[in-house]
Amino acid sequence: MSTVRAAVLTAFEQPLEIREYPEPAALAPGEALVRVEMAGICGTDVHLWLGQLPIPIPVIMGHETVGRIERVGDGLVKDWRGNPLKPGDRVTWASSIACGECFYCRTKNQPTRCLVRKAYGISYNSDEAPHLRGGYAEKILLRAGTAIFRIPDNLPTESVVGAGCALTTAIHGVERAPITWGDVVVVQGTGPVGLAALAVAIEAGAAKTVVIGGPPHRLELAREFGANTVIDVEAASDLLERRKLVLAATGPYGADVVIECVGHPDAVNEGIEFCRDGAKFLVLGQYANAGNISFNPHTVTRKQLQMIGSWGFEPRHVDRALALLERSKWKDHFAGEITHRFPLEKADDALTTTRGWRSGKTVIVP
Amino acid sequence: MSTVRAAVLTAFEQPLEIREYPEPAALAPGEALVRVEMAGICGTDVHLWLGQLPIPIPVIMGHETVGRIERVGDGLVKDWRGNPLKPGDRVTWASSIACGECFYCRTKNQPTRCLVRKAYGISYNSDEAPHLRGGYAEKILLRAGTAIFRIPDNLPTESVVGAGCALTTAIHGVERAPITWGDVVVVQGTGPVGLAALAVAIEAGAAKTVVIGGPPHRLELAREFGANTVIDVEAASDLLERRKLVLAATGPYGADVVIECVGHPDAVNEGIEFCRDGAKFLVLGQYANAGNISFNPHTVTRKQLQMIGSWGFEPRHVDRALALLERSKWKDHFAGEITHRFPLEKADDALTTTRGWRSGKTVIVP
Amino acid sequence: MSTVRAAVLTAFEQPLEIREYPEPAALAPGEALVRVEMAGICGTDVHLWLGQLPIPIPVIMGHETVGRIERVGDGLVKDWRGNPLKPGDRVTWASSIACGECFYCRTKNQPTRCLVRKAYGISYNSDEAPHLRGGYAEKILLRAGTAIFRIPDNLPTESVVGAGCALTTAIHGVERAPITWGDVVVVQGTGPVGLAALAVAIEAGAAKTVVIGGPPHRLELAREFGANTVIDVEAASDLLERRKLVLAATGPYGADVVIECVGHPDAVNEGIEFCRDGAKFLVLGQYANAGNISFNPHTVTRKQLQMIGSWGFEPRHVDRALALLERSKWKDHFAGEITHRFPLEKADDALTTTRGWRSGKTVIVP
Amino acid sequence: MSTVRAAVLTAFEQPLEIREYPEPAALAPGEALVRVEMAGICGTDVHLWLGQLPIPIPVIMGHETVGRIERVGDGLVKDWRGNPLKPGDRVTWASSIACGECFYCRTKNQPTRCLVRKAYGISYNSDEAPHLRGGYAEKILLRAGTAIFRIPDNLPTESVVGAGCALTTAIHGVERAPITWGDVVVVQGTGPVGLAALAVAIEAGAAKTVVIGGPPHRLELAREFGANTVIDVEAASDLLERRKLVLAATGPYGADVVIECVGHPDAVNEGIEFCRDGAKFLVLGQYANAGNISFNPHTVTRKQLQMIGSWGFEPRHVDRALALLERSKWKDHFAGEITHRFPLEKADDALTTTRGWRSGKTVIVP
pLDDT at position B125 over 90:
yes
pLDDT tens digit sequence for D139-182:
999 999 999 999 999 999 999 999 999 999 999 999 999 999 99
Residue D1 predicted with pLDDT over 80? no
Position A1 scores a pLDDT of: 66
pLDDT band for A356, please (50, 70, 90 cuts). confident
pLDDT at C328 over 80: no
Closest residue of C to D112, CA-based?
C304
Nearest to A339 by CA among A357, A324, A318, A321: A357
**pLDDT digits 0-9 by tens, B79-108:** 999 999 999 999 999 999 999 999 999 999
Tell me the CB-side half-sphere exposure of residue A149, using CA atoms within 13 A.
25
In order of A310, B166, C187, D121, D342, the CA distances from D48 in angstroms are 51, 50, 37, 10, 19
What is the reported pLDDT for D360? 86
Average pLDDT for chain B: 96
* B contacts of D107 (beta carbons < 8 Å): 81, 316, 319
Asked if D205 lies within 8 A of A205 by C-beta distance, the reply is: yes
The stretch A186-206 carries a mean pLDDT of 97
Rounded to the nearest angstrom, the minimum Cα separation between B82 and chain D is: 7
Q: Report, as an integer, the average pLDDT of A54-77.
A: 96
Q: D259-284 pLDDT, tens per residue?
A: 999 999 999 999 999 999 999 999 99
Give the model confidence (pLDDT) of A132-188 as tens digits: 999 999 999 999 999 999 999 999 999 999 999 999 999 999 999 999 999 999 999
Q: Do C326 and C152 contact (CB within 8 A), yes or no?
A: yes
Residue B269 pLDDT level (bands cut at 50, 70, 90):
very high
Give Cβ neighbours of residue B221 (< 8 Å, ≥ 6 apart).
B190, B195, B333, B336, B337, B360
Which subunits have 3 or more CB–CB pairs within 8 Å of chain A? Answer: B, C, D
Beta-strand ranges (E) seen in chain D are 3-8, 17-22, 32-40, 65-72, 90-93, 96-97, 118-119, 139-142, 148-150, 184-188, 208-213, 229-232, 255-260, 275-283, 293-295, 306-309, 338-342, 361-364
pLDDT of residue C237: 74
Task: Measure the CA–CA gap between D276 and A337, rounded to whole angstroms.
Answer: 36
Name the pLDDT band for D354 (thresholds 50, 70, 90). very high
Per-residue pLDDT of D178-233, as tens digits, reads 999 999 999 999 999 999 999 999 999 999 999 999 999 999 999 999 999 999 99
D partners (3+ CB pairs within 8 A) are A, B, C
Contact D139, D66 (CB under 8 A): no
Question: Does the beta-carbon distance from C316 to A109 stay under 8 Å?
Answer: yes
Residue A294: predicted pLDDT: 97
Mean pLDDT in residue range D99-111: 95
In chain A, pLDDT over 90 holds for what percent of residues? 94
Verdict on whether the full-model pTM lies above 0.90: yes
Residues in chain B with CB shorter than 8 Å from the CB of C200 are 181
DSSP 3-state helix, strand, coil percentages of chain D (rounded to 5)?
A: 30, 25, 45
Confidence band (pLDDT; 50, 70, 90) for C1? low
D28: helix, strand or coil: coil
**Cβ atoms of C63 and C135 closer than 8 Å:** yes
DSSP character string of A14-34: S--EEEEEEPPSSPPTT-EEE
Residue B1 is predicted with a pLDDT of 66
pLDDT given for residue D349 in this prediction: 95
CB C290 within 8 A of CB C264: yes
Taking CA atoms, what residue in B is nearest to C328? B207
- The pLDDT tens digits for C255-307 are 999 999 999 999 999 999 999 999 999 999 999 899 999 999 999 999 999 99
CA separation (Å) from D165 to A248, D62, D173, D214? Answer: 32, 11, 12, 20
Residues D245, D257: Cα–Cα separation, whole Å: 17
User: How deeply is C52 buried, as exposed, middle or buried, from its count of CB atoms within 10 A (0-12, 13-18, 19+)?
Assistant: middle
Contacts of D174 in chain A (CB under 8 A): 181
Give me the mean pLDDT over the A28-54 stretch: 95
For residue C244, give every residue at least 6 positions away whose Cβ sits within 8 Å of its Cβ, in sequence order, or none: none
CB spacing of A203 vs D181 below 8 angstroms: yes
Exposure string (b/e) for A273-309, b if CB count within 10 Å is 16 or more?
bbbbbbbbbbbbbbbbbbeebebbbbbbbbbbbbbbb
pLDDT digits (tens, 9 = 90+) for D31-86: 999 999 999 999 999 999 999 888 999 999 999 999 999 999 999 999 999 999 99
D48-62 pLDDT, tens digit per residue, is 999 988 899 999 999
- What ipTM does the predicted assembly reach? 0.96
Tell me if B205 sits within 8 A of C181, measured CB to CB.
yes
Residues sharing a CB contact under 8 Å with residue B58, sequence separation 6 or more, in sequence order: B8, B9, B10, B17, B19, B125, B126, B127
Residues on chain B bordering chain D, Cβ-to-Cβ distance under 8 angstroms: 78, 80-82, 100-103, 106-107, 109, 315-316, 319
Q: What are phi and psi of D145, to 5 degrees?
A: 95, -10
Above 80 in pLDDT, residue D328?
Answer: no
* Of the partner residues C101, C109, C319, the one whose CB lies closest to the CB of residue A107: C319
Q: What is the pLDDT of residue C59?
A: 97
